[in-house]
Structure 1
Amino acid sequence: MLTSLQLSTMLNLQDGMNKKVNPEWLNAGYAYLRAAMIESVEGIEHHGWKWWKAQQKDLPQLQMELVDIWHFALSEIIIGFKGDVQESAKTIAQELASGRNQVTFDGKDYHFSQLGILDNLQLMAGLCAAKRFDVPLFIQIVEQAEMNSDELYRQYVGKNILNFFRQDHGYKDGSYIKVWNGREDNEHLVDVLNSLDINLTNYSDQVYAGLKQAYPS
């Protein structure tokens, strides 16, 4: 289960990134759950579902879609609490601690702990289309995609901090260098993430510092 430190870190990072894009993001009317719906459908594609052709599951891409969904979901949750990150974290923690394993949608109960990942991704897409997000359902899907809470946290922080780093080093004006010493920045990110303990209280700061140390001066 996600810890209070992890939830607080992720929510603060999401709020910070959104403010970097638009200081008035809370009132901008961005369709975060529409974005989450699209990513859910893309997750289905990466898993493979077509019975009329041979398909191979692309687990890393599916996991990446889930991390993207979490960015959008956290944004929507923060908006729901009018920017109150602490209240957002508290509510998510309560949802996860409840042990709830079903959701009612369109008058029907879905016991998502008994459903496969494809059915759960479809359910999540439907809920997002109806402007709803269910945290326990999402975590069930994360586990079905062979991730645990720590791995979700690790990948989320990594992607968020890399976005921050890119913005801070000229991504907007085109001066950012994406390939360092023959390797893309996301490959260097993996090295940094693998070198750090996710339980550090300043984990996100350490990820940024690791990228800064590796970046060509």
Structure 2
Amino acid sequence: MGEALDHLGWKWWKKQVADEAQASIELIDILHFLLSHELVQAKGDIELAAERLVAVSKPHQTSVQFDGKAHLLDDDPRSLFELLAGLASVRRSELRVLEACFRAMNMTWNQVYVQYVSKNVLNIFRQEHGYTDGSYVEEWFGQEDNVHLAEITTSLDSASANFSDDLKRQLAERYQAACSAATKA
């Protein structure tokens, strides 16, 4: 949530420009963490994890109780991001607050799905290219790999049966070009 808030420009004392695309990618990371948490809680039982998520999702609920007061699930992204961060700090997993964050960022569930698949491809790509041992380079041509991911994702047909493969191939092409350019420099 800290990274997502950084992309929104939370420092009221400083002129900042919000980067909503990157804030949205951070929300997708949070979705990864939330789903992973639920799977761990369900001891790997996907059906049980799904049932738990459905049980806590209350789409018509307009507020969440936290820290002794009701917090509205309104359209203010910064307030929602801060609420989700506060809940996480006390180990409360709140899918409905994350859903409200998606709505506040004008993300449809189709966009969430496409970004989730894209980020998953990047996470696998990172692992395959040395993320675990520290040899992976996250910045290519002066931009974080998430920025390249967003650019490539928007250039592809997400409805294609080959979307994941095409995305991984284009990531690999850019990464290899960046590594070659760094080696020559």
Q: TM-score, normalised by structure 2?
A: 0.71
The equivalent of 1:19 in structure 2 is none
Return the alpha-carbon distance in structure 1 between the equivalents of residues 160 and 54 of structure 2: 18
Structure 1, unmatched stretches of 5+, are 1-39
Shift of 1:141: 0.8
Higher relative contact order (CA 8 A, sep 6+): 1
Task: Quickly say closer, same or farther: Cα 1:77–1:110, change in 2 above 3 A.
Answer: same
Q: TM-score, normalised by structure 1?
A: 0.62
Moved more, 183-192 or 87-96: 183-192
Shift of 1:99: 2.5
Matched, 1:133 2:109: no
Task: Quickly say closer, same or farther: Cα 1:78–1:205, change in 2 above 3 A.
Answer: farther
Return the alpha-carbon distance in structure 1 between the equivalents of residues 12 and 85 of structure 2: 20
Return the alpha-carbon distance in structure 1 between the equivalents of residues 61 and 72 of structure 2: 9
Contact 1:179 1:185 in 2 (8 A): yes
Contact 1:189 1:211 in 2 (8 A): no
Task: Quickly say closer, same or farther: Cα 1:178–1:131, change in 2 above 3 A.
Answer: closer
1:64-117 Cα distance to aligned partner (Å, 9 max, x none): 22112112111111112111112222332444464222211123222213x622
The equivalent of 2:36 in structure 1 is 75
Shift of 1:130: 0.7
Contact 1:192 1:210 in 2 (8 A): no
Shift of 1:196: 3.3
1:99-151 Cα distance to aligned partner (Å, 9 max, x none): 222211123222213x6221111111111011001101111111212322211
Count how many residue pairs are aligned between Structure 1 and Structure 2.
173
The equivalent of 2:180 in structure 1 is none
Matched, 1:117 2:77: yes
The equivalent of 1:56 in structure 2 is 17
Matched, 1:167 2:114: no
Structure 2, unmatched stretches of 5+, are 177-185
